[in-house]
Structure 1
């Protein structure tokens, strides 16, 4: 049986490392094509979807808030003001550092928790539902959307760049 720690911290850290790798490829592409970071970070799949910069910010927020909520720790605050690939990579690094800093023992009471999100106060969730059926799919939605934005705009990335070394 997997623990809440095992299903969050190492999973999110690995995925965020791959997101940073994707951003490196995006930055290299932008430099080679003389496209500004602002243009690249503003890419959208559809007019009503959030841009690349928000996809990365939300993926980081998903990881840090999930770990914080399940472990009774406080997530670091980010101002959502990143304007460059380098600034987004710094946010990813800070998020990975935070989640890796939370010890497995901090998740000891996670199973019994009820999670109430500030933006959905009338929809409390069990910790199990929150982690497995709400947060993790949402996390991967934003990671995949970031990948799709880069790939659909010419960045040469593939499944191996998304998944990482096996």
Structure 2
């Protein structure tokens, strides 16, 4: 059995986005305060962490397959909006067939910043060296903002996609 770029990307992104979606249910009593909450004054607030996790996941899948990601303006103003964004991102990812990533390990991926600078990667280097670490930075930051503001989350919530122990 081979472990593919698809296996290392799509299910990983989807599982974490579903977990994030569920965290908002646990945080519903704190919604008003959390929409502007951040970990530090120079960090983006909770909605931006959800937006950037979404952008990271859909952007990675798009770059690895050579398709355009769906446009999602950063206009979310409620938990319902953030959940809808998670759902839309999951739908995009789940719409990509594993075969679409068959040749993506060696695909040339360029990541350009607004100033013109950037990075060039193979698909494998992009996924493992940039896309997944960047995605999990924003997922973890969202989790930390929620925890720091009194939302009762624990490690089982971060890993809830595993379900109940099976041993």
Do both share a fold (TM > 0.5)? Answer: yes
Q: CA deviation at 1:121?
A: 4.3
Alpha-carbon distance in 2 for matches of 1:43, 1:22: 15
Contact 2:58–2:92, Cα closer than 8 Å, also in 1: yes
Indicate yes or no: 2:36 matched with 1:42.
yes
Secondary structure of 1:89's partner?
helix
Residue in 1 aligned with 2:75? 81
Matches within 5 A, 1:101-112: 101-112=95-106
TM-score of the aligned structures, taking structure 1 as reference length = 0.91
Whole-angstrom CA distance in 2 between matches of 1:51 and 1:130: 26
Cα separation, 1, equivalents of 2:142 and 2:105: 31
Gaps of 5+ in 1: none
Does the aligned pair in 1 maintain the 2:112–2:118 contact within 8 Å?
no
Q: What is residue 85 of structure 2 aligned with on the other side?
A: 91
Question: 1:7 maps to which residue?
Answer: 8
Deviating above 4 A after TM superposition, structure 1's stretches of 4 or more consecutive aligned residues are none
Residue aligned with 1:111, SS = coil
Distance in structure 2 (CA, Å) of the matches to 1:151 and 1:59? 18
Residue 128 of structure 1 pairs with residue 124 of structure 2: yes
How far apart are 1:114 and its partner, in Å?
1.5
Q: Tell me the residue number matched to 1:149.
A: 145
Match of 2:55 in 1: 61
| RMSD between aligned residues | 1.3
State the match for 1:22 in structure 2: 23
Q: TM-score, normalised by structure 2?
A: 0.90
Q: In structure 1, what is the Cα distance between the partners aligned to 2:42 and 2:104?
A: 35
> What do residues 137-160 of structure 1 show as CA deviations (whole Å, max 9, x unaligned)?
111110010000001110111110
What 5-or-longer segments of structure 2 have no aligned partner? none
Tell me the secondary structure at the aligned position of residue 125 of structure 1. Answer: strand
Deviations 1:76-107 (A, max 9, x none): 10010000000000000000000000001111
SS at 1:54 equivalent: helix
Q: Secondary structure at the match of 1:8?
A: helix
